Amino acid sequence: MRRNFIALAAAAVGALAIGAGAATAQQKLKVGFVYVGPVGDFGWSYQHDEGRKAVVAKYGDRVETTFVEKVSEGPDAERVIEQLARSGHKLIFTTSFGYMEPTIKVAQRFPNVWFEHATGFKRAPNVATYDARFYEGRYIIGQIAAKMSKSGTIGYIGSFPIPEVVAGINSFMLGAQSVRPDMKIKVVWVNSWYDPGKEADAAKTLISQGADIISQHTDSAAAMQVAQERGVFAFGQASDMIKFGPKAQLTSIIDDWAPYYVERVGLALEGKWATGAVWDGLDKGKVKMAPYTNMPEDVKKMAEATEAAIKGKTLHPFKCPLVRQDGTTVECKGAGHLSDEQIASMNFYVKGIDEKIPN
Amino acid sequence: MDLATAILLTVVTASTPLLLAAVGELVVERSGVLNLGVEGMMIMGAACGFAATLATGSHAAGVGVAMLAGMAMAAIFGLLVLGLVANQVACGLALTILGLGLSGLVGQGMVGQRVDPVGPVDIPWLGSLPVVGKLVFGLDPFVYASFALVAGTWWFLSRTRAGLVLRAVGDNHASAHALGHDVRLVRFAALMFGGACAGLAGAYVALVYTPFWVTGMTAGRGWIALALVVFASWRPWRLLFGAYLFGAMSIGQLHLQAMRGALPDFLVLPGQFWSALPYAATIVVLVLISRSRGRRASEPAMLGTPFSPDR
């Protein structure tokens, strides 16, 4: 909140003093970040802020970063982004899907400011997009789950049934099936990215219904703690949650935005920034696996081999042929695997999932 | 542990923070003050309680500090609305916003830290009984405290002279004042109780429910507690029923979802429906039970009305 205030105050003062894009080579490069959650969520926004800190650590006095947290998606976002642009920020990262339209709108008004929008698909000469292939990590944890589960049932805590989450569930199950074809999955939707209490309740529900491994696509460590308490295994999300489940965490899919932010700010400092769309994952280290723990050596070996194969592009989680839940085969639009567009708009479950996607 | 026991235990965990916060607010509202800042007091309780436990390693210290934090927040509110006769709705909302922001500041260095949760009580022989051992004698101390608070509140409001005074202040502060009761003192005391209860609820969230700290972790539970008070028509036992109904519905919908694979197609409803269900069901049920037997009768007549002794 304090930073929030400073950022807004700075934006207000800057609006009077300096025009956008006035920064010269001698001046500090001002870099702005817009977060959807609080930096203290220990999840999505927390990881983006770790990336911002890496930029500060790398470039020190050459950059000046500002962040605004808890910015709701919609008109509020447009105002915040515009204020950052007005106050001399030369490069602005907007880190939630819902900032797509506001980012594009503000970018049209500030052609000399560079924008980067996370997880979106609309670009412009001064708007680049970036995303991470989290589903690659989910394939690996699916394999681990299949090896480690005794009951054969996985519990999965979903946030919202949007393509990214559905693709994550599919990738997880494809990984699991590659080891054990009869794996079962139970999905509970908590209808929130972030409600620790509800996430804990969902984990308890899944465990009492027979799941002995918990995976989540929500942001807090609540489920991990429940798993630790109940003596089952779990996978962390966004950041390494080993502290919350020293005996429960098998691994964690970590978002690491630091290398990307450092690279892009570096380009901006050299004046070589250009628009583009970057969707990478394990290969570039944007998606990382926390140390493989609490598992036998052979499972660890398998996970490491799969990780290497995905990094080396010899394995694609959505390789063709891919069969839908209803038995029909998905048209293959990529080279031996689904195209990026198909993955980004996935709205079906793969074969072997008894669940139904709500709405 | 069989499925039914597991479900019931989860229901208890989900209901307790609501009940704790709501019982405090019930007393506050019975004294004629509307404090919309429950969420703010609760989150401050969670942050401060967690911080104290982290620093001292003692759960008791955490709970104590959480209650004090809730009371401190309530005292700010009390000074504004009782001392300065400020608008209660505006101050309550401000208290929530203040609490959410301030707790983020208090918790800045605690993100990613963990403490051991407060475990269930350990009663030697009773705890090992089948079924009831876990369900009746194996709960955490907060749960027993919440039941005791409901019973105590009922007894206090309906059976004691002080309770009568508190209700009188809530129903007609001018008359109570004319009779020589110190309206502001009574209300301040009620606010302190409400703050302590909200802080306790916060401690429950941060030390039992999900024993870690993250910003905004109470996620609107204070607002649900507020609503429960109204829908329980300001009666302690109905509040108990309402809180557990809400808890049962929110856990029940998760279990239904987990069984979705086995459900017929027409029951596959959007996740939003399941999330809304506990709210809708609780409101409907409580409105129905309050409708017949004089809901207005127990609504404090002076609720939200400012009082100034020199007028």
> Is pLDDT at B30 greater than 90 in this prediction?
yes
pTM for this entry: 0.84
Give the per-residue pLDDT at B1. 61
Check CB contact under 8 Å for B254 and A202. yes
Confidence of residue B111 (pLDDT cuts 50, 70, 90): confident
pLDDT average, residue stretch B38-67:
95
> Is pLDDT at A197 greater than 50 in this prediction?
yes
Check CB contact under 8 Å for B274 and A191. yes
Q: What is the DSSP string of A167-189?
A: HHHHHHHHHHHHH-TT-EEEEEE
ipTM: 0.83
Which chain B residues are within 8 Å of A37, Cβ to Cβ? 215
Selecting from A40, A200, A221 the residue whose C-beta is nearest the C-beta of B209 gives: A200
- Reported as a single tens digit per residue, the pLDDT across A31-90 is 999 998 888 878 888 999 999 999 999 999 999 999 998 888 878 899 999 999 999 999
Confidence of residue B265 (pLDDT cuts 50, 70, 90): low
CA separation, residue B27 to residues A9, A73, B51, B302 (Å): 41, 38, 28, 13
Check CB contact under 8 Å for A1 and B205. no
- Reported as a single tens digit per residue, the pLDDT across B267-279 is 666 767 777 888 8
Give the per-residue pLDDT at A166. 93
> Is pLDDT at B108 greater than 70 in this prediction?
yes
Strand partners, A312: none
Chain A and chain B share a number of CB contacts under 8 A equal to 140
> Is pLDDT at A214 greater than 60 in this prediction?
yes
Confidence of residue A315 (pLDDT cuts 50, 70, 90): very high
Which chain A residues are within 8 Å of B104, Cβ to Cβ? 1, 38, 40
Check CB contact under 8 Å for A41 and B105. no
Selecting from A37, A191, A354 the residue whose C-beta is nearest the C-beta of B272 gives: A191
Placement of tokens 């405290």 in the chain? B145
Cα–Cα dist A185/B10, whole Å: 21
Confidence of residue A359 (pLDDT cuts 50, 70, 90): low
Cα–Cα dist B149/B237, whole Å: 11
> Is pLDDT at A9 greater than 60 in this prediction?
no
Check CB contact under 8 Å for B272 and A201. no
Lowest mean pLDDT among A156-165, B246-255, B283-292, B298-307: B283-292
Q: Is the peptide bond before A321 cis (omega within 30 degrees of 0)?
A: yes
Check CB contact under 8 Å for A243 and B205. no
Closest chain B residue to the Cα of A244, Cα to Cα: B114
> Is pLDDT at B241 greater than 70 in this prediction?
yes
Selecting from B209, B274, B275 the residue whose C-beta is nearest the C-beta of A197 gives: B209
Check CB contact under 8 Å for B114 and A225. yes
Lowest mean pLDDT among A98-102, A268-272, B10-14, B122-126: B122-126
CA separation, residue B274 to residues A149, A186, A202 (Å): 28, 16, 13
Give the per-residue pLDDT at A104. 95
CA separation, residue B84 to residues A105, B185, B226, B309 (Å): 46, 14, 24, 12
Give the per-residue pLDDT at B116. 85
- Reported as a single tens digit per residue, the pLDDT across A232-288 is 999 999 889 999 999 999 999 999 999 999 999 999 999 999 999 999 899 988 999
- Reported as a single tens digit per residue, the pLDDT across A84-142 is 999 999 999 999 888 999 999 999 999 999 999 998 888 999 999 999 999 999 999 99
Closest chain A residue to the Cα of B253, Cα to Cα: A188
Cα–Cα dist A58/A234, whole Å: 34
Check CB contact under 8 Å for B271 and A191. yes
- Reported as a single tens digit per residue, the pLDDT across B148-197 is 999 999 999 999 999 999 999 999 999 999 999 999 999 999 999 999 99
Closest chain B residue to the Cα of A4, Cα to Cα: B101
Check CB contact under 8 Å for A209 and B3. yes
> Is pLDDT at B223 greater than 60 in this prediction?
yes
Which chain B residues are within 8 Å of A205, Cβ to Cβ? 7, 10, 251, 254-255, 257-258
Check CB contact under 8 Å for B219 and A239. no
> Is pLDDT at A1 greater than 80 in this prediction?
no
What are the residue ranges spanned by the domains of chain B? 3-298
Give the per-residue pLDDT at B5. 86
The mean pLDDT of chain A is: 88
Check CB contact under 8 Å for A225 and B107. no
Check CB contact under 8 Å for B14 and A2. no
> Is pLDDT at A165 greater than 80 in this prediction?
yes
**B239 min Cα distance to partner chain A (Å):** 21
Which chain B residues are within 8 Å of A161, Cβ to Cβ? 271
Helix B38-56 to helix B59-78 angle (10° resolution) is 150
Residue of A2, A50, A190, A191 to mutate for B, most B C-beta atoms under 10 A: A191
Q: What is the CATH number of domain B3-298?
A: 1.10.3470
